[in-house]
Amino acid sequence: MENSVYLDELESKSINIIREAYWQYKEKLAVLWSMGKDSTALVHLVRKAFLGEVPVSFIHIDTTFKFSQIYAFRDKYAKKWGINLIIVKNSAALAKGISPDKDRFNCCDSLKTVALKEAIEKFGFKVLLLAIRRDEHLIRAKERYFSQRDKEFKWDYNDQPLEMWGQYYMTGHEEGGHLRVHPMLHWREIDIWKYIRRERLPVIDLYFARNNKRYRSIGCQCCCNPVESSADSINKVISELEVSRVAERSGRAQDKEKEYMMQKLRSLGYM
């Protein structure tokens, strides 16, 4: 039995933040679901927060370059959980033949950030829930739980508002702007796995080792590399993470391309 108080505390804080965002913004709120382990845990937290009757929408930003397992997982669980899922693509950029081979920065920006911009405009969302965590990346570690983005999606990381004692800066009413909410900012990678084990959540099998390789983090097939690992079960993944010195996103191209690439992508509105 997983230590209940420790995971309860992480879970409770996330649920509290989800409910706080919904209280303020109601159906203007959407949850980003990439089918990865973190955002799948977030989907579960959202279902828990609303006692199973979820009144908000979910967005999948489909670059069309994702692993085939991701699409199968999405279709299976969106149906099983009765999720109102909006799938968005930057069709114009795809029609022009954009791909990571030519310009990785531009590809990430167009197929993810621009696609998201179009969806926000089309559906009128004001608030996005994202499953980012502090321990993933130095730049994500600088985030607040509630973070404003202007109409250009810019993140003013040099002047973030004060939030403390569960009191957040909730705006998003600026013309064209939106609010990012990060209910899982305080979780660590290993916490996610312990929670998946305790709550018996499904995960894509790319996370488990085959031929001594597994994915620590998944996204577009072309820009993800597996890490050396023999962890072929949740228990083994947790044991591995207790001692691992390999970075979670070490297989993700956009994290190490060039110095400050993540910061530049994020300041333009990347997740």
Partner 1 sequence: MKNALRVVVTGEVDSGKSTLIGRMLYDTASLHKTAIEEISQASRLNGNILEFAYLLDGLEEERRGQLTIDTTQAFCRNYRSGFWFIDVPGHAELLKNMLCGSSYSQAAILVVDATKSLEDGTIRHINVLRFLGIERIIVVLNKLDILGFSKDVFEAAKGEIRAFLDSIGIKTEYFIPASCRQGDNLAKKSAKTPWYTGPSLISALHSLGGINKTGGKEGFYFPIQDVYLRKGNPVFVGTILSGKIRKNDAVHISPAGKRDKIKAIRVFGANKLSAKAPQSIGLELARGEGALRGQVISSDGGLSASSEITAKILCVQPINPQDKLFFSCATQQAICSIKQINKFSLVLAGAISDRGAGLNKEDVAEVLIAVREPVSVKRFSQVEALGRFVLKKDREIVAVGIIT
Residues that bind partner 1 (CB under 8 A): 3, 5-6, 8-9, 11-13, 15-16, 19-20, 22-23, 47-53, 134-135, 137-139, 141-142, 144, 157-158, 160-167, 169-171, 186, 188, 245-248, 250, 256, 259-260, 263
Nearer to partner 1, 68 or 158 (CB): 158
Nearer to partner 1, 15 or 234 (CB): 15
Residue 82 DSSP symbol: T
For residue 226, the minimal CB distance to partner 1 (Å) is 15
- Please state, in angstroms and as integers, the Cα–Cα distance from residue 204 to each residue in 12, 30, 37, 82, following that order: 25, 22, 8, 19
For residue 22, the minimal CB distance to partner 1 (Å) is 7
Nearer to partner 1, 89 or 142 (CB): 142
- Please state, in angstroms and as integers, the Cα–Cα distance from residue 100 to each residue in 33, 65, 250, 259, following that order: 22, 9, 18, 18
For residue 23, the minimal CB distance to partner 1 (Å) is 5
Of 52, 54, 14, 57, nearest to 32 (Cα)?
57
For residue 93, the minimal CB distance to partner 1 (Å) is 27
Residues 10 and 195: beta-carbon distance below 8 Å? yes
For residue 260, the minimal CB distance to partner 1 (Å) is 5
Nearer to partner 1, 210 or 258 (CB): 258
User: Can you state the percent helix, strand and coil of the chain, rounding each to 5?
Assistant: 45, 15, 45
Nearer to partner 1, 89 or 198 (CB): 198
Residues 41 and 190: beta-carbon distance below 8 Å? no
Residues 178 and 127: beta-carbon distance below 8 Å? yes
